[in-house]
Copies of this chain bind each other. A is one copy, B any other.
C-alpha cells in the first residue's frame, strides 16, 4: 500500500476504539498498544485499570508512545462507550440468553462498513484476564464477538484476542479503502499474479515461440521423437504455462536452449575442455 492509502486506513481505524475493562497486568496493556499501533488503530480506553501507569506498559509499547498519550482512563464501561454507535463485547462462551453473535471477521467488516459508510464510532470491549466481561457488561453491547478457536483448548488471552481483532479490523479497512481508490501501485497484494515484479511477464504470443524452440532443442538431442512425441509437448505446455515466465526468465531459458543446440551441432565448443587438458601439464 502507498503511504496515502496507509493514512486513509489509519484514519478509518481511528474510529474503532479498543476498550479494556479492569485489566490487571500492565504487560497486557503494553501488548494491546503494540498490536493496535501495528495494525493502525489508535484509540485505547481503559476502564478502571488495576495497575496504571506502569513501566511495563511503556516497555512493551515501545514505539507506540503517541498511543500512550492518547489513552483515556474512565471509571465505568458506560462512560467508555457513551459516544459509540456500535459496541461489540468479546465473549468466549455462551451466556444466559443468546445475543447477536459475530465471528471476528464479519464483526470487523460490519465495523468498518459502519465507519466508512455511516460515520459511526465503534467500540470493541475486552474483559478481565481471569473472567472476561460480566453479563451486565455484555448486555451493553450490540453484538457479541468471538474468535474461532480450537474448542479442545479454550481461549486466547486478552493480548492475543486484541491482536487478532486489530488484524481483522485492518484487513476490513484495507478492503474498503481498496474499493474506494484504485490500488494501482500496491506493495501488498493478494495474488501472485498481481504483484509488482521486476520484469514484465511474457505474452501468450512470445510463449508460442518458446514451445517450438524447446521442442526443437529436445528433438535435436533426441529427447523427443518428432515422429512420436507422445505427451511430452503437452506436458511442457502445462509446466511452463502454469508459471507465467517473466521476460528475463524467458530469455534465460531460450538462451539455454540455444546453447544446447549449438553444443549439439558443433557450432559452440567448450572452453573448459582446453583448460582441463592444460591442467595435467
Contact = CB atoms under 8 A, between A and B. Distances in A.
Contacts of A149: 38-40, 170
Interface stretch (A16-24, A120-128, A203-211, A242-250): A242-250
A190 B220 CA distance: 37
A264 B268 CA distance: 11
Interface stretch (A51-59, A75-83, A159-167): A159-167
B222 A271 contact: yes
A153 B37 contact: yes
A264 B264 CA distance: 8
Interface in A118-172: 143, 146-157, 160, 163-164, 167, 170-171
A277 interface: no
Contacts of A191: 102, 106
Contacts of A271: 222
Interface string A1-33: 101001001100000000000000000000000
B98 A196 contact: yes
A239 B245 contact: yes
Nearest to A241: B192
A3 B270 contact: no
Contact of A39 (B150, B248, B256): B150
A101 B39 contact: no
A270 B263 contact: no
A196 B248 CA distance: 31
A167 B166 CA distance: 13
A63 to B, nearest CB: 6
A74 interface: no
A97 to B, nearest CB: 6
Given A63-B153, A249-B239, A101 B148 contact: no
Given A101-B195, A148-B170, A260 B221 contact: yes
A84 interface: no
Given A39-B150, A164-B164, A235-B252, 11 more contacts: A1-B148, A9-B150, A37-B150, A38-B153, A102-B190, A102-B191, A103-B189, A147-B167, A221-B259, A235-B249, A242-B243
Interface of A: 1, 3, 6, 9-10, 34-35, 37-40, 63-64, 94, 97-98, 100-103, 105-106, 143, 146-157, 160, 163-164, 167, 170-171, 174, 187-192, 195-198, 218, 220-223, 232, 235, 239, 242-243, 245, 248-249, 252, 255-256, 259-260, 263-264, 270-272
